[in-house]
């Protein structure tokens, strides 16, 4: 806000700096001189993120008179753990004082001609402008110079969840042009950024935007104090990935056309996968994650469980205890915004909690996990992935005196068979018939029943896409356990790959239902072998449907963070009538109490489980079929 008695500026030139005192010594005095004749229509704001007071003290000493009259404003936001353009440039949104926001890096030079041209342009208050000062030469410091309406800057700002640099300003421009088609885009004469930037061209075309464009001469663009030169992105592998991942993420986040959003989502997944398999991945971890766990982590061959959690506190203790008993040696957990932070709820020398600084759950969950593996897991060692409501159950070891854990025994069995993965199947746990409510602290003890349907060899269920993809010829295994299909008619893939040998070439599926190795997806035919186990994963998602719900509250958090089919299935489940769920679950004869992994017929061999299903089918011939063909 403008100080009392001071006219509201037309433009505020905003300069965020961290450890750039030398640049400011070269540019700040010059820039204040260039805008001095336009006071009070313009103002300069410097936001200093330094820990040391040296920069702030120098500014106050050298420019005290400019500060006193409101010509220069000095802000001291909280220190950044690392330099991040988007976060630094958003530091001016609170109490923003001017009609227009103008970005200015610490090493940029202003000119009287450019300031005068901007003021003359925006004097037309019947039109809002987005101005890009790019000269057309990459690396000369001008591509980051933008001017836009202050109201839109405050409302939308820069993306803060992208990598620290590259495509930040273009993301602002493209997002505003997509959302506000009446904006007039202004560039220097002959500069066609939407042709020079491939990602920008794709965004404009795929969102079917008709950009209103005007060219304006801002005078000669002076090189910055620290020019990078053309080709600097291609010569730095980190910046190369920052550029392409930020651009595709921006396209996904800022698109207004759903087909465009999906296309950018595919590109983002491909670029994240490429980086996650590249040695450069380990070099970006310091800007991908924060939290106390990062300082303690080292690369080891420990059997490590990698997980993402947000606010699932009630199962944390049992989950940790369960996997420790199985033989997990280390837990690396990504805290995706829990309140309170997970660090307050998880303890132990084997627990490492980190906080994501890049991306969001929907688009980047498996990228987070794979990046952490690249940094902290020895190739050839074994890892687990599990949600907090999933409990992998493994059968007892044959010789407990040998001291092997259940995990070690499962790994040894897989390796002896020449395998690098141990597949699992989700077993959705349900309450006993007649129990209509489950408390938060009673989930494990109360939810101890599951669906168990005898073998069917002919049923349309087996032709459903997710079922075929997950189980191929062994689809009856899925049908036997699929209480979601029975209660809600939803179609999910119940197959998971919770335990596997880590190699840098591994690519994870978003739902952790599949893996790729060396560019080839491991199929159901590869994973499911009749003489090998299919391990149960007790799954407690259904507990949320049996909890007392506040009026208007959803059973599942952040449904929008899941992709299409999963999102639709979750919405359908939480919208289902509770009385209907209770009646159908009570009426079905196909349910049984959980007896543990030793009694789960697939835990030894897939073929044994199919035989058990076949035997149950022979005993169930008298049970009539329902109208949909499924008993």
Residues in the chain: 631
Of residues 438, 429, 407, 424, the one with CA closest to residue 549? 438
- Kindly state the tokens that stand for 438: 């489950």
As a whole-number percent, the residues of the chain with pLDDT over 90 amount to 73
User: How far, in Å, CA of 552 to CA of 120, rounded?
Assistant: 52
- Kindly state the tokens that stand for 163: 């990598």
pLDDT tens-digit series, residues 88-135: 999 999 999 999 999 999 999 999 999 999 999 999 999 999 999 998
Q: E strands along 18-159, which residues?
A: 42-48, 72-75, 100-103, 129-132, 146-149
Phi (first) and psi of residue 508, to 5 degrees: -95, 145
**E strand or H helix at 290, and its extent?**
strand 289-290
With the CA atoms of 205, 209, 215 and 216 taken in that order, what torsion angle do they form, in degrees rounded to the nearest 10? -120
Judged by DSSP in three states, 355 sits in: strand
Report whether 92 contacts 12 (CB < 8 A): yes
Whether the per-residue pLDDT at 326 is higher than 60: the answer is: yes
Looking up tokens 């750039």 gives: 20
User: What local confidence, expressed as pLDDT, does residue 325 receive?
Assistant: 95
Of residues 553, 538, 547, the one with CA closest to residue 600? 538
pLDDT tens-digit series, residues 148-205: 999 999 999 999 999 999 999 999 999 999 999 999 999 999 999 999 999 999 999 9
- Kindly state the tokens that stand for 48: 């200093």
Report whether 559 contacts 570 (CB < 8 A): yes
Judged by DSSP in three states, 429 sits in: strand
pLDDT tens-digit series, residues 459-473: 898 899 999 999 999
Whether the per-residue pLDDT at 402 is higher than 80: the answer is: no
Between 7-16, 393-402, 494-503, 594-603, the lowest mean confidence (pLDDT) is in 393-402
User: How far, in Å, CA of 117 to CA of 112, rounded?
Assistant: 9
- Kindly state the tokens that stand for 241: 């990935």
All structural domains of the chain, each given as residue ranges with its CATH number in brackets, are 11-233 (3.90.550.10), 281-388 (no CATH), 391-631 (no CATH)
Judged by DSSP in three states, 454 sits in: coil
pTM for the whole structure: 0.89
Q: In what order do the strands lie in the sheet with 212-215?
A: 72-75, 42-48, 11-17, 100-103, 146-149, 129-132, 184-187, 212-215
Euclidean distance between the first and the last CA atom of the chain, given in angstroms as a whole number? 68
Task: For the beta carbon of residue 363, count every other beta carbon within 10 angstroms.
Answer: 21
User: How far, in Å, CA of 541 to CA of 564, rounded?
Assistant: 18
Report whether 431 contacts 592 (CB < 8 A): no
């Amino acid at each position: 806000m403008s100080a009392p008695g001071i006219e509201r500026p037309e433009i505020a030139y905003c300069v965020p700096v961290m450890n750039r005192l030398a640049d400011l010594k070269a540019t700040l005095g010059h820039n204040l001189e260039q805008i001095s004749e336009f006071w009070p229509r313009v103002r300069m704001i410097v936001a200093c993120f330094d820990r040391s007071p040296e920069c702030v003290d120098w500014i106050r000493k050298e420019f005290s008179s400019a500060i006193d009259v409101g010509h220069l404003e000095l802000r001291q936001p909280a220190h950044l753990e690392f330099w991040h353009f988007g976060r630094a440039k958003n530091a001016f949104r609170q109490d923003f004082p001017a009609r227009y926001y103008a970005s200015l890096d610490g090493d940029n030079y202003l000119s009287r001609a450019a300031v005068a041209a901007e003021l003359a342009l925006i004097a037309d208050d019947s039109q809002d402008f987005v101005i890009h000062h790019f000269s057309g030469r990459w690396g000369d410091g001008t591509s980051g110079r933008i001017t836009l309406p202050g109201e839109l800057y405050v409302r939308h700002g820069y993306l803060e969840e992208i990598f620290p640099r590259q495509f930040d300003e273009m993301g602002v421009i493209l997002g505003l042009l997509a959302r506000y088609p009446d904006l007039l885009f202004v560039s220097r004469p002959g500069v066609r950024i939407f042709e020079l930037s491939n990602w920008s061209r794709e965004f404009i075309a795929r969102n079917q935007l008709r950009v209103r464009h005007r060219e304006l001469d801002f005078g000669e663009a002076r090189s910055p104090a620290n020019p990078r030169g053309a080709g600097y992105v291609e010569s730095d592998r980190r910046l190369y990935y920052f550029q392409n991942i930020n651009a595709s993420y921006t396209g996904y986040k800022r698109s207004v056309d759903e087909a465009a959003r999906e296309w950018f989502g595919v590109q983002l997944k491909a670029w994240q996968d490429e980086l996650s398999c590249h040695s450069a991945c380990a070099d970006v971890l310091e800007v991908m994650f924060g939290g106390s766990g990062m300082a303690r982590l080292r690369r080891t061959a420990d059997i490590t469980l990698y997980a993402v959690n947000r606010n699932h506190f009630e199962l944390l203790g049992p989950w940790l205890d369960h996997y420790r008993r199985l033989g997990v040696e280390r837990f690396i957990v990504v805290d995706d915004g829990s309140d309170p932070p997970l660090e307050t709820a998880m303890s132990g020398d084997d627990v490492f909690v980190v906080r994501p600084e890049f991306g969001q759950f929907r688009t980047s969950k498996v990228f987070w996990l794979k990046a952490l593996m690249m940094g902290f897991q020895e190739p050839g060692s074994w890892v687990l992935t599990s949600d907090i409501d999933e409990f992998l159950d493994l059968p007892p070891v044959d010789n407990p005196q040998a001291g092997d854990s259940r995990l070690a025994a499962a790994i040894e069995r897989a390796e002896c068979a020449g395998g690098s993965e141990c597949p699992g199947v989700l077993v959705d746990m349900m309450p006993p018939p007649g129990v209509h409510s489950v408390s938060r602290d009673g989930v494990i003890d109360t939810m101890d029943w599951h669906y168990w349907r005898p073998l069917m060899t002919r049923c349309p269920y087996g032709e459903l896409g997710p079922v075929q993809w997950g189980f191929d010829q062994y689809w009856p295994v899925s049908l036997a356990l699929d209480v979601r299909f029975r209660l809600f008619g939803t179609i999910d893939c119940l197959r998971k790959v919770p335990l596997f040998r880590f190699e840098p070439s591994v690519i994870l599926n978003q739902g952790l239902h599949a893996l790729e190795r060396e560019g080839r997806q491991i199929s159901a035919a590869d994973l499911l072998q009749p003489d090998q186990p299919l391990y149960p994963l007790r799954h407690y998602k259904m507990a949320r449907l049996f909890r007392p719900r506040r009026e208007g509250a959803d059973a599942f958090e952040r449904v929008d963070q899941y992709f299409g089919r999963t999102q639709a299935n979750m919405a359908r489940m939480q919208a289902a009538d509770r009385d209907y769920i209770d009646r159908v679950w009570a009426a079905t004869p196909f349910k049984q109490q959980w007896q543990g992994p030793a009694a789960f017929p697939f835990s030894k061999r897939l073929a044994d489980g199919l035989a058990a299903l076949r035997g149950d089918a022979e005993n169930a011939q008298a049970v009539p079929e329902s109208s949909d063909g499924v008993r």
